[in-house]
Structure 1
């Protein structure tokens, strides 16, 4: 596993997004239902970011987005992400504007994840829900309605970590009360708990830290 996190990061810091890259023998066969959006501050900055990412091995991708102001790309292993056009909403998020999850019911997802993480709801419609840390900092968590049906486990997923001093079993029970279910992905004996949200999206409940 390779862990990527901002220099000087100390948990819990709602401004930061940490990425864990884990080797998997299973090939990618479908479009990821979870991806990240990268923020930019101007048209020139957007072009600069796209060019730099191409130099690093990313390539433009067509996922049926049509003529849009953002750029859809894939990393060297085919994982989709977007380089957004400059938007006032994301001016203070840092480099990652949002983590975006495809779903069937944004309202239901907003209810679950808002209570699961105690994040504030910024927008909700039948087509989109937007959450952010209650402190008003860091990236957004967005749920977008899509007709696509989930057919495989998500290659990109969220990890949730309780605060230091919290009880892991009590937190797992709370999440199950909200609608999460325990699942077995072959993780064997590990210190974290693997769960799925009410629409089947896998996530991990880590040990308190």
Structure 2
């Protein structure tokens, strides 16, 4: 028997709205929209892991203890697209780095990394 990573669970003031925002941001699909929250997964494979699950929670306070990193083939184009969707650039004291720190509509930090070889 072993553990299999199923999902990252994120507290949200408005799970439905934030889940749909992340589905658009990642170009994923809403796999479940239930009373417990909203689950999103990659579109390509049914049951793809890990999912992101957004559940009711209190307002974010302070810096995230855990954040998501994403790489993009065109970092600046993706940053622009995310800004248009409602993300914001964030300064958390990172200084001069090759990634872009951003916040989702509820203030959760995430990073868009430079392209990977």
Instruction: Say whether the fold is shared (TM-score over 0.5).
Output: yes
1:123 paired with 2:32, answer yes
Contact 1:106 1:127 in 2 (8 A): no
SS of 1:170's partner is helix
**Aligned residue for 2:60?**
150
Alignment of 1:168-187 (within 5 A): 168-187=75-94
1:160 paired with 2:67, answer no
Contact 1:105 1:126 in 2 (8 A): no
Distance 2:21 2:60 in 1: 18
Post-superposition shift, 1:125? 3.9
Unaligned runs of 5+ in 1: 1-44, 50-93
Unaligned runs of 5+ in 2: none
Q: Which has the higher contact order (CA 8 A, sep 6+)?
A: 2
Distance 2:35 2:105 in 1: 17
Contact 1:107 1:126 in 2 (8 A): no
Aligned residues: 114
Post-superposition shift, 1:116? 1.0
Aligned-residue CA RMSD (Å): 1.6
Post-superposition shift, 1:180? 0.3
**Alignment TM-score, normalising by the size of structure 1:** 0.51
More strand by share: 2
* 2:14 aligned residue (105, 121, 138): 105
Structure 1 segments, 4+ long, off by >2 Å, are: none
Larger Rg: 1
Distance 1:99 1:160 in 2: 14
* 1:197 aligned residue (80, 89, 104): 104
